[in-house]
Chains A and B, each alone.
Chain A
Amino acid sequence: MAIHVGSPPLEGTSKARTVALTVNGEGVELRIEPRVSLLDALREHLGLTGTKKGCDQGTCGACTVWSDGRRVLSCLTLAVAGEGHEITTVEGLQDGGELHPMQAAFIAHDAFQCGYCTPGQLMSAVALLEEGRAADDEIAEWMSGNICRCAAYPNIRDAIREVRDAAGGE
């Protein structure tokens, strides 16, 4: 049977190339191969080590960042595919040296022990409020993509409720 697709194919390459990303509002360029994950680009190439690598398989949520304001897993995202999107990491939560209210609430409520999952928890916790999924009976389900090996869950939920209530809503 004849092939009906008339478009010419694109050239793909596995070689390192210059990739332009926007991270925490700043434009950055890095030279990387397509196989580099966004997580490795952030940590190893840009020195933004706040974002953590737990499983590298999409199961733990430690690597959660935002792409255009939506929470995603940076371990399953290719850095090169991040071109054209606004990436926000935990380093981008603070405002002029002031902790984000969610960060302050995590400290106040002792919402971590080892702290390894915390950057991912924070990125999900702030996104959850944006998504309008912070009712008392919703928080656990909508935070379920972030595993805490130290089981700080009750304190994490307390912190989220405090920020939700301070913002005056659910």
Chain B
Amino acid sequence: MRPFAYARADDVDTAIATVLARPDGEFLAGGTTEIDLVRQDVLRPGLLVDINDLPLDRVDDLPDGGVRIGGLARMSDVAEAPGVAERFPVISEALLQGASPQLRTMASMAGNLCQRVRCGYFRDAVSPCNKRDPGSGCAAITGFHRGHAVLGTSDKCIATHPSDAAVALVALDAVVRTRGPHGERAVPIDEFFLLPGDTPEREHPLEHGELITAIDVPGAATARRSSYLKVRDRASYEFALVSVAAAMDVRYRTVADIRLALGGVATKPWRARTAERSLLGGPATREAFAEAARRELAPATPLPQNEFKVELAQRAIVRALTALADGDEEGGTR
């Protein structure tokens, strides 16, 4: 492992100033992405600024019924926080189906959003990879790409965004709050994740030294009836082949509100707006779910090994929505 300098900050502005002082400075939270990739020689920071002592690990209720999740709150703590588990079950479920118990106690929510892709060519530190080494090419397009994306791809990069939690947060219109060299800002989460386009090395709009302080999830009654469905090669401790974050409100067998996002199939956590539009105000039937899923996946650009994801994603959407609709029926309140 290459040497790097280390400093531990205990207030936000010192952490930011310390990263800013060196062009090769980076924040270190749980380290489950950062230390792994430094050891693989994929990332080469000259300085790691340990932010684990910053007071950003709380989960607080917001006046509108939402929650503010501190950037350093751990995946395990957020999953169990009452405000999250009761009002936003889809977030809890996505967190608890991610990584392993050990990793979840270490990993922070901000780090989870900033985690890097699991593409084997990105991680091997030698293959052509436009994300790691811009302009060098993409080994996955002509190589092994079974786990790669079918939506939001470009001819420069087809890696899937690996986060589960981000899929739930994108479905719920979360807002990423930051503090950096130019002050504070709030970025809608859908704009936080960038498509690869011609610049796959740029995954989010954070400037050097800009720190994620919190993630706000706005209150949404619909989110109480929400769920996360993750389809993977083994039952646990594995990244998604396809995942679905869904919240739905069915009244008189009609879709009164719907939030839908997909993981494992796209280069960013994928808000399924086409499917949402197709469903809103219409019947909550299996046929309508299938039609919405078909429309969402219509623009997919699969490659030979990941073509199965197009069908798998549609089936997962139908299963997730059918389960939510049946839950509504059984609840019998409407």
| Stretch of A22-30, A72-80, A87-95, A161-169 at the chain-chain interface | A72-80
Beta-carbon contact of B105 and A10 below 8 Å = no
B136 at the interface (CB under 8 A from A): no
**Which residues from 28 to 46 on chain B have a C-beta closer than 8 Å to any C-beta of chain A?**
28, 30-32, 35-36, 38-40
Task: Return the contact of A12 from the options B38, B49, B180 (Cβ within 8 A).
Answer: B49
A14-B5 Cα distance, complex, nearest whole Å: 4
Q: With an 8 A cutoff between CB atoms, is A52 at the interface? A: no
CA distance A109 to B105 in the complex (A): 29
Contact with A along B208-220 (1 / 0, CB 8 A): 0100000000000
Q: Classify chain B's interface size.
A: 35 or more
List residues of chain B with CB within 8 A of the CB of A50. Answer: none
Are the C-beta atoms of B101 and A3 separated by less than 8 Å?
A: no
Contacts of A2 in B (CB 8 A): 182
Chain A residues 83 to 103 lying within 8 A of chain B, measured CB to CB, are 83
**A33 engages B3 (CB within 8 Å):** yes
The answer to whether A35 and B1 have CB atoms under 8 Å apart is yes
Give Cα A135–Cα B182 distance, bound, in whole angstroms.
Answer: 50
Contact B7–A141 (Cβ < 8 Å)? no
| A49 nearest CB across to chain B (Å) | 20
Known: A78-B48, A81-B50, A144-B100. 10 other contacts (CB 8 A): A4-B183, A14-B5, A37-B35, A61-B100, A71-B101, A73-B32, A77-B106, A80-B8, A140-B236, A145-B102
* A interface with B by C-beta (< 8 Å): 1-14, 33-35, 37, 56-58, 61, 64, 70-73, 75-78, 80-81, 83, 124, 127-128, 131, 133, 140-142, 144-146
Q: 22 A-B residue contacts at CB 8 Å?
A: A4-B183, A5-B16, A12-B18, A12-B25, A12-B49, A14-B3, A34-B6, A34-B48, A35-B4, A35-B38, A58-B36, A61-B102, A70-B105, A71-B101, A72-B106, A75-B35, A77-B106, A80-B6, A142-B101, A144-B100, A144-B237, A146-B100
- Going nearest first, the 5 A-B pairs with the smallest beta carbon separation are A145-B100, A34-B6, A12-B5, A12-B7, A9-B21
